[in-house]
Amino acid sequence: MSSPEDTKKSRHPRNRGWTGSAHRANEGRLEMTSEATAPGQDPARAIRPEDPRPAVPPAEPEGRDDSLKDDAEDALMAYRDDSPEPPPRFGDEGRRAEELAQATVVEDEDDDDEAAEVIAAVTPEARDEERAGAGLQLRMAPAEEAEIDPAKLDPDALKVVYRLRQFGHEAYFVGGCVRDLLLGRTPKDFDVATSATPNEVRNVFRNCRLIGRRFRLAHVYFKGGKIIEVSTFRANPTGLAGQSEDENGADANGEEGDLLITMDNVFGTAEEDARRRDFTINGLFYDPFAGKVIDYVRGRRDLEERNIRTIGNPEIRMREDPVRILRAVRFACKCGLELESRTYAAMEGAVEDLPRCAPARLLEETFRLIRGGIATDSLKLIAALDALKILLPPVHEYLQRTGEQGEARFFAHTRALDRRVREGEQLEDAVLLAAILLPIANDAPATEEQGKPPSVAEAIEQLLSDLVRNARLPRRIAERCRMILIAQRTLSGQRRRRGSLASFRRHPLFNEALTVFAISVEATGEFREQLDAWLSGGAPSVAPDAEGPRRKRRRRRRKSVSRDS
């Protein structure tokens, strides 16, 4: 007869090779058979006096509802995916399923067969077969039947859609990627819309992070820094109780309501999500497995007619989010589309609401116009809408003050910038902003007072300060832009510096400043000789009337006369 100490050692997980709840379950079975089993009683139904938990129920006969199996599969998938949330707990009836799900990591050879059966029951192949029987097809549509060539779809985005479908969620490509593919363009990125909530998306993907407060999104990360953005189907938040308006924007009392969207996390269906989007060309879904474009808003018709049209009443849509004005400008200039007349009129009326938007969003949309190589057409359209005074006040004031001559000079700089961007040159935000503000800096040269560092024009200083303070422009970008503008007169030889021009090459911002200088030379044709001197590895000579600090002449020391001489 074994002693209590021997029994205790035999139960230890290190000796038995069990881990976690698998050890506890088997330990409970050992105790039930050795201590709590009465004569003639089924050991599987024995209960220890000190353990209030019910025993493991016997296997159920065939034909039983297999909802318990689904719960076990979901628990195991969440456990294997290292989900940040713990696996769901089951009642007493589901304890056997939970124990099997957590027993997949075993060390004892005796439990290998049991664990293998559990893993095989929830492999992706088995899950695919089960859901395929329910009508969900997880096979890609053949290229000859698909409305969009499968070879043009991003493989990582396809993985996201496929995995969401495996877990029983709706998932489609949405927005700009569908629009660009139908127009024959190469999408910059691929976005996914799904019926899964942000937290459910995070539970499906380990490489996922939730962002946003006003608009909650999930970012799925891949190698090389690629991000696939996953959004949940949403309903129009202005349709909530207490915020419902009619087609003309009037509330229940007949008064004009405030339609500005401040919260956009009201989840809905795919059709509701399409109808709450801004423009019809952005409300298209694509199902890669069916090979069909899903169009709830007649977006394909507008693409064929080359029109940009809002979904629903354009007056309401623009007042809900005035940033849509800048988005419409970007789509029109980027894709070569025309603004529908009612949409354009609504954009003009909503310009006054732009200051109500978050300054950071306005700044980001403005940078998107410049980064896309469409700065010239975009800024002309924004100026026609009278929105330039809100986005870039110094530029608006400069164009108003200088007239046609200043306008021609300014847009010559933007065209030179667009050519470089379209050629694939990667320019940082400080260089883009400096190239836009350069005509203003040349019109009002930097001042340099005695004992103080040089500064750019007062209007530019004010703009950079406002962007840092209100629009969350990083101070580093603002300071780099300021120094690049100051360096332009040094590069042209119009300003002296304390060191030689040749030593200016060692300045940390020399390359960025030279890029902006080259854009200015290309736009105006001035100072080409100075640019050639810099590009050849030398340095131009300083103009005789150049401003700035002059090198102090060192006074020769007088030789002291010896008193004895």
Give catalytic residue positions.
189, 191, 278
> Residue 150 is which amino acid?
P
CA distance 81 to 438: 53
Residue 519: alpha-carbon gap to chain centroid: 30
Q: How many CB atoms lie within 10 A of CB 199?
A: 13
Closest CA to 238 of 221, 252, 219, 218: 252
**The two structure tokens encoding residue 490:** 């040094």
Q: How would DSSP label each residue in 160-193?
A: HHHHHHHTT--EEEETHHHHHHHTTPPPS--EEE
C-beta separation of 195 from 232 below 8 A: yes
**The two structure tokens encoding residue 247:** 């087609």
Q: How many CB atoms lie within 10 A of CB 312?
A: 17
β-strand 307-308 against 338-339: which pairing, if any?
parallel
C-beta separation of 178 from 293 below 8 A: yes
By the 10 Å C-beta count (0-12 exposed, 13-18 middle, 19+ buried), 455 is classed as middle
Rounded (10°) angle between helices 155-166 and 124-133: 70
Q: How would DSSP label each residue in 475-490?
A: HHHHHHHHHHHHHHHH
By the 10 Å C-beta count (0-12 exposed, 13-18 middle, 19+ buried), 183 is classed as middle
Instruction: Look at the block and give the residue holding tokens 């939730």.
Output: 210
DSSP H helices, 444-544, are: 458-470, 475-491, 510-524, 528-535
For the chain, what percentages of helix, strand and coil (3-state, to nearest 5) are there? 50, 10, 40
DSSP H helices, 256-336, are: 270-275, 299-305, 314-320, 324-335
Dihedral sign of CA atoms 56, 58, 59, 61 in order: negative
Specify the 3-state DSSP secondary structure of 449. coil
**The two structure tokens encoding residue 329:** 């400008």
**The two structure tokens encoding residue 355:** 């200051």
C-beta separation of 107 from 65 below 8 A: no
**Adjacent-strand bridge partners of 381:** none
